[in-house]
Amino acid sequence: MSNLLNVSLSPHTHGKETTRKLMFGVVIALLPALFTSIYYFGIGAIIVTATSIISCVLFEYLIQRFIFKKPISITDGSALVTGLLLAFNVPSNIPVFIIVIGSFISIAVAKMTFGGLGNNPFNPALVGRVFMLISFPRQMTTWPIPAGLSTKYIDAVTGATPLAIIKEGLKNGESISQLMTQIPTPVQMFLGKMGGSLGEVAAIALLIGFVYLLVKKIITWHIPVSVIGSMAIFTTILWLINPEKNADPMFHILAGGVLLGAIFMATDYVTSPMNPKAMIIYGCGIGILTVIIRVWGAYPEGVSFAILLMNAFVPLMNAYIKPKRFGEEVKNG
Amino acid sequence: MKTFPIGGVHPPENKLTAGCVIQQLPVPQSVAIPILQHIGTPATVIVNKGDTVKTGQVIAASKGIVSTNIHSSVSGKVNKIDTIIDTTGYKQTAVFIDVQGDEWVDTIDRSDEILTDIKLSSEEIIKRCLESGIVGLGGATFPSHVKLTVPSGKKCDVLIINGAECEPYLTSDHRIMLERGEQFLIGVTILMKALKVTRSMIGIESNKTDAIEHLTNLATAFQGITVHPLKVKYPQGAEKQLIKALINREVPSGRLPLDVNTVVHNVGTAFAVYEAVQKNKPLFERVVTITGKSLSKPGNYFVRIGTPVSKLIEAAGGLPEDTGKIVSGGPMMGKSLNNTEVPIVKGTSGIILFPESESERMQSESCIRCAKCISACALNLEPYLLMTLSEKGLFERAEKERITDCMECGSCSYICPAQRPLLDYIRLGKSTVIKMARERVVKK
């Protein structure tokens, strides 16, 4: 042996986990939802998803290549996840140029201005989505109705989402029991047969993804369970107080983007807290804010805003909510 | 099955030598015996160049309270007293001896007879441990006589024996439990007598079913000793984690096991204590695992202290072509060696040869804040934060975040998907914080 020995500090072995594997794990977990939305929304879902992914990855590449002038890291899969999630959060009939603008905001403004992966305070896909919602409110709130492998894109048949039906109906003085006849049954909602954003409609597909993420230990249960749990408790209280003015908890959880938000958006590593205690507080914050926006706010849906608002508290939570250290307060038995 | 509750990782076990019977490594032509093989003050050399020494003779005497004797592991002539690079990578004083024959000190009982009767009193046992140079053989090498002396005001009600051997690759403790089970249990009984306790618990990870079974059977003949299987999880063999797993007591931050009325000793140490007390044999040889995926004959050997690592590698079939790194100790906490003439010391539990493909670190990427380091930390620290604080020189904050609690088990660096050198920076921060704390005390 003529060559020198490697000398380094311990540990001398490393686990198999890499950033790329984690990111592609998220992509795999999103596939069931992607397939169901292609089934429900057809060609529109494919166009929107492809545009979103391509433009997100491209913007990341261009910025790294020409502005950062640093090694290109688009293969880590983070831009791919952002692109996929951005597509999941918009209607499947949205024009291509709007998605490109949304992708630009997500990657260039929400992610790269802060230094790229790991440094952004707000969830990039949600920043992009909220920007689109505010800038293009009409296109962002006309929702295609599931039509089964439809070949229609911009001209797809649209209808209101269950949450919009409830919001409008209550404003017009109708009661929940009257409105319930106009919205899909819980089983239909569970399977995704309702209007909504591309990836948020099928609860069943999102839950399959959730199980995959848990089994692969990509995320922990803390955030999704506390988001859904706090929402369930809050909406149950409102529902018990006045069932004619407030929808039941099952409806709140299945309608809109709660599952997509709780499982995939709120659990974004970079923008969520680092320890379990803080994760639960963060999750409950999202659940409660979502209900407040839905019930008393101007928008029918509030998951995106709730997550972004709680994102802002994450640095504070990381600094002040600490895990209980081993040997800190000792109780011996 | 019991285990510690927070954190931990599962590195591949790779116990290649678990089935290899312990063999005697031939005495080499020359040895280099460092005078600091323990935590504490180096021993004082009491032989001169040209002196003739016997196997088992004291060549460096204990100096101060936390120190211990160093014995010659061979018989022969002192060639020189010089410096050598030891397993830590630093140069230190060692006694170089040229071997002539193998003549042992007369007082050592070299028979194979197993002596069960413990004739020595508690105080005599502790004195014998010091005389025989016994230190913790798990790797920390803390002088055992200090650990066996319970200071007034403290009490110990249970002795814990660490048979976890949670580091991948290493099998020396496993083989001792299997092949020297009875002697080991007598050693445990001796330790119990020294500590004046009636109860001892042996914790063994469940990947060593044969050892658990064997010792459970043997232990029925011993009063107060029980064997406890533990769920396989690294770092189970860490003192505080083992105590938590076995008796559910949490050693407070910055304190010792005696603060929760217990003392932990390692399997190898208990066996060495048996030999010292019953056979009057000082610690001049130990069981070392020599292993690696490319080695042709990995195995477990009784090795004389001071033997160069190269001799051990020779016995195991020679240095493989693809060797990229040689580690003394386990892969998680061991030290990498920069040459093969480094002497085996009391703390060397194993020598691992890594092929080139496994010996270089991967490129580190940006932190994605996945919090896997937090969930891997057995002390519930926040490694990502400690690294950032150390990197930015914010040592006061690092101290508040309890950087000094870190036991450097390496779980955070192991698990990090972005391959960040977490522990490297934490070590830097930890040593700076300790230095700062010392300076504060001096100023006062």
How far is residue A234's CA from residue A230's CA, in Å, rounded to a whole number?
6
Mean of the pLDDT values across residues B301-323?
94
**Structure confidence at residue B66 as a pLDDT band (50, 70, 90):** very high
Find out whether A265 and A126 touch, Cβ atoms under 8 Å.
yes
Residue B331 distance to chain A (closest CA, Å):
5
Amino acid at B34: P
B335: tokens are 């030290």
Of the pLDDT bands very low, low, confident and very high (cuts 50, 70, 90), residue A329 is low
Sheet holding B76-85, edge to edge: B30-34, B91-99, B76-85, B52-53
Interchain CB contact of B282 with A (< 8 Å): no
Chain A positions touching B250 (Cβ under 8 A) are 326-327, 330-332
Q: What is the pLDDT of residues A44-75, one digit of tens each?
A: 999 999 999 999 999 999 999 999 988 888 99
> What tokens were used for B403?
């950087």
Are residues B402 and A325, on separate chains, in Cβ contact within 8 Å? yes
Per-residue confidence (pLDDT) for residue A300, from 0 to 100: 87
Instruction: Please report residues of B whose CB lies closer than 8 A to that of A331.
Output: 250
Give residue A152's pLDDT.
81
- Counting residues of chain A whose pLDDT is more than 90, the rounded percentage is 68
Asked if the Cβ–Cβ distance from A332 to B248 is below 8 Å, we say yes
Question: Nearest C-alpha of chain B: how many angstroms from A227?
Answer: 19
Question: Taking CA atoms, what residue in A is nearest to B368?
Answer: A118
Q: Which range has highest mean pLDDT (A145-159, A318-332, B382-396)? A: B382-396
Contact A39, A148 (CB under 8 A): yes
Note whether B334 contacts A10, CB cutoff 8 Å.
yes
- The helix/strand/coil state of B287 is strand
pLDDT given at position A330: 52
> Least CB-CB distance to A6: which of B168, B324, B380?
B324
- Residue among A303, A302, A304, A301 nearest A164 (CA): A301
Tokens linked to B265: 């000793």
> Is B374 in CB contact (< 8 Å) with chain A?
yes
- How many Cβ atoms from other residues are within 10 Å of residue B392's Cβ? 12
Pairing of strands B225-230, B200-205: parallel
Task: Tell me which chain B residue has its CA closest to the CA of residue A118.
Answer: B368
Full DSSP string of B189-254? HHHHHHHT-S-EEEEEETT-HHHHHHHHHHHTTSTTEEEEEE---BTTTSHHHHHHHHH---PPTT
Residue range A127-136: average pLDDT?
A: 95
What's the full length of chain A, in residues? 333
> What percentage of residues in chain A have a pLDDT greater than 70?
98
- Report how far residue A176's alpha carbon sits from residue A182's, in angstroms, rounded to the nearest whole number: 10
Spatial distance between the Cα atoms of A148 and B120, rounded to a whole number of angstroms: 87
On the question of pLDDT at A175 being above 50, the answer is yes
- The tokens describing A291, both together, are 């209900």
pLDDT at A333 over 80: no
Contact assignment for A274 to B384 by CB distance below 8 Å = yes
Closest CA to B87 of B354, B408, B345, B409: B345
For B156-208, the pLDDT digits (tens) are 999 999 999 999 999 999 999 999 999 999 999 999 999 999 999 999 999 99
Judged against a pLDDT cut of 90, whether residue B346 lies above it is answered with yes
- Whether A172 and chain B come into contact, CB under 8 Å, resolves to no
pLDDT, mean of residues B128-133: 95
pLDDT per residue over B391-429, tens digit each?
999 999 999 999 999 999 999 999 999 999 999 999 999
Q: Is the confidence at residue A135, as pLDDT, over 90?
A: yes
Q: What's the pLDDT score for residue A194?
A: 87
- Residue A325: is it exposed, middle or buried by C-beta count within 10 angstroms (0-12/13-18/19+)? middle
The one-letter code for the residue type at B135 is V
SS3 per residue for B81-144:
EEEEECCCCCEEEEEEEEECCCCECCCCCCCCCCCCCCCCCHHHHHHHHHHCCCECCCCCCCEH
Single-letter code of the amino acid located at A239: W
pLDDT at B118 over 50: yes
Q: How many CA atoms lie within 13 A of B247 on its CB side?
A: 24
CA atoms within 13 A on the CB side of A319: 7
Please list the alpha-helical segments (H only) found in B295-356: 309-315
Asked if A319 reaches chain B (Cβ–Cβ under 8 Å), the answer is no
Distance (Å, whole) CA A302 – CA A239: 18
Q: Could you tell me where the beta strands, DSSP code E, fall in B245-332?
A: 262-266, 285-291, 299-304, 323-328
Question: Other C-beta atoms within 10 Å of B106: how many?
Answer: 8
The answer to whether B394 contacts chain A (CB < 8 Å) is no
Section B100-128 average pLDDT: 93
Output the DSSP codes for A61-99.
Answer: HHIIIIII-S---GGGSHHHHHHHHHHHTS-TT--HHHH
Probe site for chain A from B242, B309, B370 (most A CB atoms < 10 A): B370
Sign of CA dihedral B331, B337, B343, B345: negative
Alpha-carbon distances, residue B380 vs A118, A276, A328, B5, B171 (angstroms): 22, 11, 10, 10, 29
Predicted pLDDT at A1? 46
The reported pLDDT for the residue numbered A180 is 86
B window 132-171, beta carbon within 8 A of A: 168
Q: Work out whether the CA dihedral B237, B239, B241, B245 comes out positive or negative.
A: positive
CB contact under 8 A, A73 and B365: yes
| Three-class SS state of B32 | strand
- Hey, what domains does chain B have and what are their CATH numbers? 1-22+108-360 (3.40.50.11540), 372-443 (no CATH)
Question: Above 50 in pLDDT, residue A332?
Answer: no
Residue A52, helix vs strand vs coil: helix
Report which DSSP code applies to A218: S
CB B269, CB B39: distance < 8 Å: no
Closest residue in A to B243 (Cα–Cα): A332
Q: Between β-strands B262-266 and B158-163, what pairing exists: parallel, antiparallel or unpaired? A: parallel
Per-residue pLDDT tens over the stretch B143-153:
999 999 999 88
Among the residues of chain A, which ranges form H helices?
Answer: 19-41, 43-62, 78-88, 96-104, 124-135, 137-140, 162-171, 176-179, 186-191, 203-215, 222-241, 249-254, 258-260, 276-296, 303-320
Distances (CA, A) of A261 to A206, A247, A264, A266, A300: 10, 20, 6, 6, 15
Among chain B residues, the shortest Cα distance to A1 is held by: B321
Q: Does A194 touch chain B (CB under 8 A)?
A: no
Q: Chain B contacts of A22, Cβ < 8 Å?
A: 368, 370, 417
CB pairs under 8 A between A and B: 160
Q: Which residues contact B111 (CB under 8 A, 6 or more apart)?
A: none
Give the Cα separation of B306 and B75 in Å (integer).
Answer: 12
CB contact under 8 Å between A6 and B336, yes or no, is yes
Residue B420 and residue B418: Cα distance in Å, rounded?
A: 5
B253 contacts A328? CB cut-off 8 A? yes
Lowest mean pLDDT among A45-54, A152-161, A175-184: A152-161
| Among candidate residues B341, B56, B281, the one with its CA nearest the CA of residue B328 | B341
Q: Give the count of beta carbons closer than 10 Å to the beta carbon of residue A109.
A: 17
Chain A hits for B337, Cβ within 8 Å: 5, 7
Chain B residue with Cα closest to A72: B365
- Examine residue B235 and say whether the peptide bond preceding it is cis (omega within 30 degrees of 0): yes
How large is the angle between the packed helices A19-41 and A43-62, nearest 10 degrees? 150
**Strand, coil or helix: what is B385?**
helix
Question: Cα dist. B381→A10, A19, A106, B373, B411 in Å?
Answer: 18, 22, 33, 9, 11
Scan for tokens 């369930």, then name that residue.
A232
Model confidence at A177, pLDDT cuts 50, 70, 90, reads confident
This prediction has a pTM of 0.91
User: Does residue A121 contact residue A114 with C-beta atoms inside 8 Å?
Assistant: yes
Above 80 in pLDDT, residue B444?
A: no
Please provide the average confidence, as pLDDT, over all residues in chain B: 94
Q: What is the dihedral of CA B98, B101, B106, B108, to 10 degrees?
A: 80
Instruction: Indicate the burial class of B353 (C-beta count within 10 angstroms; 0-12, 13-18, 19 or more).
Output: buried
Q: Which residues contact A3 (CB under 8 A, 6 or more apart)?
A: none
Residue from B111, B418, B413 nearest A10 by CA: B413
CA–CA distance from A263 to each of B315, B330, B374 (Å)?
A: 56, 39, 21
How is residue A327 written in tokens? 């040997």
CB pair distance less than 8 Å for A275 and B382? yes
pLDDT, tens only, B227-283: 999 999 999 999 999 999 999 999 999 899 999 999 999 999 999 999 999 999 999
- Output phi, psi for B421, to 5 deg: -80, 65
- Cα–Cα distance, B180 to B159 (Å, whole number): 20
Length of chain B: 444
Residue of B nearest to A318 (CA): B385
